[in-house]
Amino acid sequence: MTGPLTGFRILDLSAVLSGPLATMWLADQGAEVIKVETAAGDIVRHMGSGKALMSPSFLSANRGKKSIVIDLKQPDGVALLKRLARDVDVMVQNFRPGAVERMGVGYDAIKEVNPKIVYCSISGFGETGPYSHKRVYDPVIQSLCGLADIQRDRDTGRPKMIRTVIPDMTTALTASQAITAALLSRERTGQGQHITLAMIDATLSLIWSEGMAGYTVVGHEDKLPPQLAPDLIYQTTDGYITAGAVSDVEWEGMCRALDREEWLQDERFNTPAGRVRNNTARLKLTAEVIATQSTAHWLKVLDEHAVPCAPVLSRKELLDHEQIVANELIELRDQPGLGRVRQPRPAARFSGTPASIQGDAPMLGEHTREVLLEAGLSEAEIDDHIRAGAVT
């Protein structure tokens, strides 16, 4: 293992995406992550193409981990988990509130065997409140936290979902940052702690600075939220681009690039506040001009005037885009069960302790024996637990 978290060990009881993605990013940064699964495996193993309980989605949230199968419904399974917990730095779980306590592996139980543990509990809505025990998936959070409202169709008023699981991924980012912060605190104080993180909290915190700006000052709530304005996608004669002008310098460049210098004197648009207030009219006028020329023409002219812009790429096109290639972002690897696969390298680059993809996603229970041997069990003891069904 290499990376800034080399030497730290994580016991990951989480499933689906928010927890597994968080711990995978920590694995990329060098942490040893032991994924604890049921005999059926994380449900994401079964979602999509692949074989041997390996799907593209599972790979992309679990690479570089070890897999161990433990039946936490059995007392022997709980005892084995506690034995593993003695020698790790972090434990992560995303069961519904109260579930781990009923199993006997909640924070208080684990703290008894490892007082310095950093224990991260991820839930949909938090530990209390009327929604705390509801089942939750990403669209539920999108609906409750304002994301669907932000995406509301400006013509029909119909709320819309973002077509990727932003709340899950936001929660994963927040969890990985919080775990790292708690480890840093422990290095300085010697004290572990319990991190509780709700998906709705993480997502609303993420969108607040822009999506809730109109509702920040009490008594001055906007009548028409700015998200109902047109988006920044413009159709050209042969495709689509995006282009935006926030500062006065960029707006001047936009007007000159579009050959509409008279807009510089227009009272609706000659200040940043005015451009925001009148953005529907501004973007409509901009779209009418951009529709008259090709994508290549506008990207060239906008670049010449230092206006932020880019082509709107399909997911297939981005794989070979010159900037993605220059960043060496996408790596090709061989993944058992899937074959040749693409994966993004760790986004953050460390000059002294480089992060990297640490290995393949594990087959179900691939490392059960290895992990238990490292925990001090004998081969005979492991065989006994396997026969009893406590591990697989």
Candidate list 42, 138, 168, 201, residue with the active-site label: 168
Q: What's the rounded Cα separation, in Å, for the pair 261 and 263? A: 5
| Nearest alpha carbon to residue 299 among 291, 286, 308 | 308
CA distances from 206 to 6, 158, 171, 210 (A): 29, 23, 9, 9
Assess contact for 89 and 373: CB atoms under 8 A. no
Where helices occur in the chain by DSSP H, the ranges are 18-28, 56-62, 75-85, 99-103, 107-113, 138-144, 147-150, 166-189, 199-211, 248-257, 272-277, 279-290, 295-304, 315-318, 322-326, 368-374, 379-388
168 is catalytic: yes
Number of alpha carbons in the 13 Å side-chain half-sphere of residue 361: 32
DSSP result, 301-355: HHHHTT--EEE---HHHHTT-HHHHHTT-EEEEEETTTEEEEEEPPSS--SSS--
Catalytic machinery residues: 168
